[in-house]
Chains A and B, each alone.
Chain A
Amino acid sequence: MKRDFVKTICPYCGTGCGFILQVEDGKAIRTLPDRKHPVAKGTLCIKGWAAHEFIHHPDRLTRPLLKKNGEFQEISWEEAIDLAAKKLKEAAESYGPDAVAGLSSAKCTNEENYLFQKLIRAGFKTNNVDHCARLCHGPTAAAMAQALGSGAMTNSISDFTGAECIIIFGSNAAETHPIIMGEIYKAKDHGATLIVVDPRRTEVAANADIHLQINSGTDIPLINGMMRYILDQGLEARDFINERTEAFDALDAYLSGWSVEEASDESGIAAEEIARVSEIYSRAQEASIVFCMGITQHACGTANVFAICNLAMLCGHVGKPHSGICPLRGQNNVQGACDLGALPNVYPGYQTVADANILRKFEDAWGRELSPTPGMTVTEIIGSAGKKIRALYIMAENPVLSDPNQSHVIDSLHKLDFLIVQDIFLTETAKLADLVLPGACYAEKTGTFTNTERRIQLLRKAVEPPGDARDDFTILCMMGKALGLDYPYADPGEVMDEVASLTPIMGGVHFDRLGSAGLQWPCPEDTHPGTRFLHEGRFSRGKGLFVVPGYTPPKEMPDETYPYTLITGRMFSHYHTGTMTRRSHFLHREVDKPFVEISPADAHSLGIRDGDAIRVSTRRGSISTNAKITSRVRKGSIFAPFHFREAPANALTIEELDPISKIPEFKACAARMEKE
């Protein structure tokens, strides 16, 4: 009996919990909590405990597959790689470099993301590389980079304890970031006032000191109302504003057009409540703001994040302990994918593609000419598939289920000349591919993930990939060599060394320095211990920039034919498109059927009883699902998780994009319901 215990990092959410895989005879049979892990501290959420269950699932892809007249046939790795390289080069040669695009993945390691964007950029002289951050914290990266100089979470998870006030905007952390919720509860036990702003009465809201049950998508009016009140009462951090920020007057002028009453009408929160919350937040010595998809997944997602930055800077709650602006990243390595340049407009370390000497630096390093013009985002790539984009290489992503307006996505992908999908299961997206490459899951590779608090942590390989599957690092090296690129790496450690050499904020990051606690970037030199919180003394961009948030209510408001507001999102026992969680026996047993949450009042008016089969439809499409009556949602709004392929919530969502970050408005559209 070959027995081993391997420490690795959870493949699911952005909290980045560490745990131990118990491996017997090459099979991961059990997950054990790691009592010494800095974030998890010996605890795990329901998905963490089941993180070993999907690894050896029989559905795992084991050999490269090529589609011949509609049927997948197994082919060898050599054939697959050569064909992929040939097809991508063909598209670039016949339709120009920008005809090729790549979707990287927040599920893959930092090193794999780096190699992927290098492959697209150096291989085809185009910046058409993006990943699903576009669908979650795209607006956060865009807005915070512009306002503060860095798109990452300013403080750390363990930093909540000690804050006097914590405001949570649009985050059901108890279900999406359970271990971080533990830290927030610990802060509450140490005296923090917990304020929750959420249209749904989630568990977080129920346990908060104050719950503002806001109308969906009206966060900016609320924040403007708060800022208006703070300025009227003179509670703003005047000296912080003068010394450390700029362009406050523009905001001041804009705010003069707003009153607390107006904010109250628009947001549906009583004026006294706005006043009370503003008092608590501004008077606190140290206060932090936590936010998630409820803020970003709107047509005015970027503006929402600007509003939050304005509020934090107005009260000086940035750049000090127990404070800051804390976007909770959804995926295990979405922070890492952004850090490593899997974005159309930046190289690794948020170095913009448009900057000439940055461009030259990377051209020298990679030995290939690079394109200075920013590439297309996910939604644009899929939107122009078959037109501008001819060949697409998707690594470990499932846009068919995760992108809005599913029917549109499927039609576009069909129009492509050549689609390569690299994943561990034959997902809905992989089924449409011409070439499928079997990748490896988190337990079958070495590398690093970066969690939401910028902590880069080491994964250790526990088991071998199934059949002939290869880990993504190896596949990308093969692809790189096939494209004639310089991929001399023996192991992911060397990739990270190359990244360190090219990226100032990760200058000191090397595998041997990561140990058990990892390193929180920025970490410029080899001796730097990592940074607990950002913007101490000065903002990354110098002075904090106030930006006037352009408020637009949800694009599709409810009307007679579609009387309900549909909110989509995650629930605790499944993850994103369910590729892994629905193949985990323990998680599947917890929830195996799709559902839509309906308020008792709405259920009564439609004569729907708990568990009844119902049909939910919008202008984009309709799904049949089951009713779950709960007082979590308010009268007039319903909530649908997007984990269930048999009732894809994204067949309903609207394709309205945020102008700046191009994020779709997942959190609000109009829908109607009937008994099936």
Chain B
Amino acid sequence: MSLVEDARLKAKNALEEGLVDGVLALARVEDEPYPYVFEDAAETGMLELEPKWLLAKLAMNILRSSRQDYRLGIICRGCDERALNELSKRNQFDPARLHVIGLACSAEQARICLCTKPYPASIALGEKSEGFDPREDERARMFLSDDPGTRMQHWAAELSRCIKCYGCRNSCPICVCEPCKLEDDLWVRRGEIPADMVSYHLIRAFHLSDTCVACGGCTDACPVNIPLMLLQVAMRETLANNYGYEAGTDLERLSPVLSDLTIEPCPPLMEPGWLDSLKVNHET
């Protein structure tokens, strides 16, 4: 049985057993992929798995706008599942109403998305494949290169192309604020493009420092193809190294940045005698 048929079967069973009231996945209608909520088991024949289409934010919105006891199944990839974990940790929807059917991505897809963990926690469809380290990608290496001068030059050139479409924020599964700080004239001057490189892009990036699940939604949504996800790589690595924390992998553990040093220590600050950043010699 092919992957797609397996997916269709699982969706059909979930609906027939009354496990869920609807399954959110892609559907192929007139040879075109649509996001679709299958509520009738017979329709699951149209279910489709390609192309990669982020559904986490859509699932949240569907749960919010349906009746309180509506249970939604979702066929989603690892990044969507992690995004849904982060959203439920932030009380955006009740996780009990969500039934995740995890789909593992192919190595090629991981290569395209520069994804380090191309599989969900519980894999229902497909096999686990090798993650891809963003630093391997030739274009990404320019943005993450060791020499700050090269990095700055590439980021400054790339970010000065921004047309402030807010696509990065609109497609990010974690960005749910309404109103959003980026539309507040205090932080980012309104009505102007390019969006101020530092205050728009870095404030947006930092808001996702401990919640970004590296789904690549921002990079996919950027009309002038700025590799926005690469802004998060260094911070995600810092969280992994300092606290062993990765966003979206643990429903209980909150971001370590919110807690006390006595509860979750931060190694660079724990060096004996660390009192201020001047003492730390950055030249090494």
Contacts and interface: CB of A to CB of B under 8 A. Distances in A.
A343 B194 CA distance: 37
B225 A182 contact: yes
A73 interface: no
Given A7-B34, A33-B171, A207 B161 contact: yes
Interface residues of B, number: 40
Contacts of B193: 174-175, 203, 572
A43 B167 contact: yes
Contacts of B34: 5, 7, 20
Interface stretch (B216-224, B241-249, B272-280): B216-224
A181 B53 contact: no
A381 B62 CA distance: 51
Given A44-B223, A48-B165, A49-B166, A207 B160 contact: yes
Interface in A4-22: 5, 7, 20, 22
B66 to A, nearest CB: 5
Given A591-B190, A591-B191, A515 B165 contact: no
B183 A36 contact: no
B136 interface: no
Contacts of A44: 165, 167, 221, 223
A573 B160 CA distance: 18
A516 B31 contact: yes
Nearest to A45: B165
A374 interface: no
B33 interface: yes
Interface string A234-254: 000000000000000000000
A590 B193 CA distance: 11
Interface in B205-249: 220-225
Contacts of B269: none
Contacts of B183: 589-590
Contacts of A175: 163, 193
Contacts of B221: 33, 42-44
A36 B221 CA distance: 12
Contact of B190 (A45, A182, A590): A590
A46 B35 contact: no
A573 B163 CA distance: 10
A44 B164 CA distance: 11
What bracket does the count of chain A residues touching chain B fall in? 35 or more
A185 B224 contact: yes
A46 B164 contact: yes
Nearest to B32: A516
B98 interface: no
B65 interface: yes
A672 to B, nearest CB: 24
B54 to A, nearest CB: 9
A516 B58 CA distance: 22
B282 interface: no
Nearest to A29: B65
Nearest to B35: A5
B196 to A, nearest CB: 12
A32 interface: yes
Contacts of A181: 161, 163, 223-224
B62 A3 contact: yes
B200 interface: no
Closest 5 CB pairs of A and B: A591-B191, A43-B223, A182-B223, A178-B163, A516-B32
Interface of A: 1, 3, 5, 7, 20, 22, 24, 29-30, 32-33, 35-36, 42-46, 48-49, 174-175, 178-179, 181-182, 185-186, 203, 206-207, 515-516, 571-573, 589-591, 595
16 contacts: A1-B66, A3-B37, A22-B61, A36-B32, A36-B51, A43-B221, A46-B164, A49-B170, A174-B163, A181-B163, A181-B223, A181-B224, A207-B157, A207-B161, A589-B190, A595-B191
